[in-house]
Amino acid sequence: RRRLRLNGTIAMQPDGAIHLHTKQVYFNCPQYIQLRQLEASAIAQVGLGEAIVSPALSPSQQQWLAQVDTFFIASSHPDGADVSHRGGNPGFVQVVNANKLVFPDYAGNNMFNTLGNLFQQPQAGLLFIDFERGNTLQLTGTAQIVWDSEALAAFAGAQRLIEFEVSQAIATTNAMPHRWRFVEYSPYNPL
């Protein structure tokens, strides 16, 4: 399990290629990454599916999110944007209702990139990937850091909680051409 953070800029080239100019590259905490194996023979040959936009989570989306073990959080700061991995055992994301999620912030690299961004700018995005089917669920909304609460006890290993208020959900079928087979959970996931 490895996690590499890249900071820089991207630009679309006239030929359609994406140019990435890195300003910083460094290894980051890989503790909560689940091990998955890329299925080379399972590349989807169909095009991008339908994207359904809604102001809230559907019951089936809520049920799926309550079982995820991985997602990505996008936050921003005056100099740009940041995307970071979040992982845990299934159920580490708590669905409060159709517009609210709560998830733990575990001990990591102690750089607090995401938390610092959310503290300054609460607008954020979450990306959930169905690794077996290639579907995605993108959520935009606002995040609030819960520094101290009795609710922490419900999340083993949590140092803080993040409450995420959903303002928009975009569900896209077949968004990812690759498929990944689950191998094992991270041995660092709190039990």
Q: Any idea where the domains of the chain sit in the sequence?
A: 35-184
Q: How far is CA 138 from CA 5, 75, 182, in A?
A: 21, 13, 21
The structural architecture, per CATH, of the domain 35-184 is Roll (2.30)
Q: How far is CA 21 from CA 7, 9, 24, 121, in A?
A: 8, 5, 9, 25
Query: What is the chain's pLDDT, residue by residue, as a tens digit (191 residues)?
Result: 677 777 778 888 999 888 888 887 877 777 898 999 998 766 666 677 889 999 999 999 999 999 999 999 999 988 778 888 999 999 999 999 999 999 999 987 777 888 999 999 999 999 999 999 999 999 999 999 999 889 899 999 999 999 999 999 999 998 988 889 999 999 999 98
Chain length of the chain:
191
Q: What is the per-residue pLDDT across 58-82, written as a single tens digit (0 to 9) for each? A: 999 999 999 999 999 999 988 778 8
pLDDT of residue 9: 81
Q: Which amino acid is at 20?
A: L
Check: CB of residue 63 under 8 Å from CB of residue 102: no
Q: Residue 72 and residue 119: Cα distance in Å, rounded?
A: 18
Q: Residue 55 and residue 58: Cα distance in Å, rounded?
A: 9
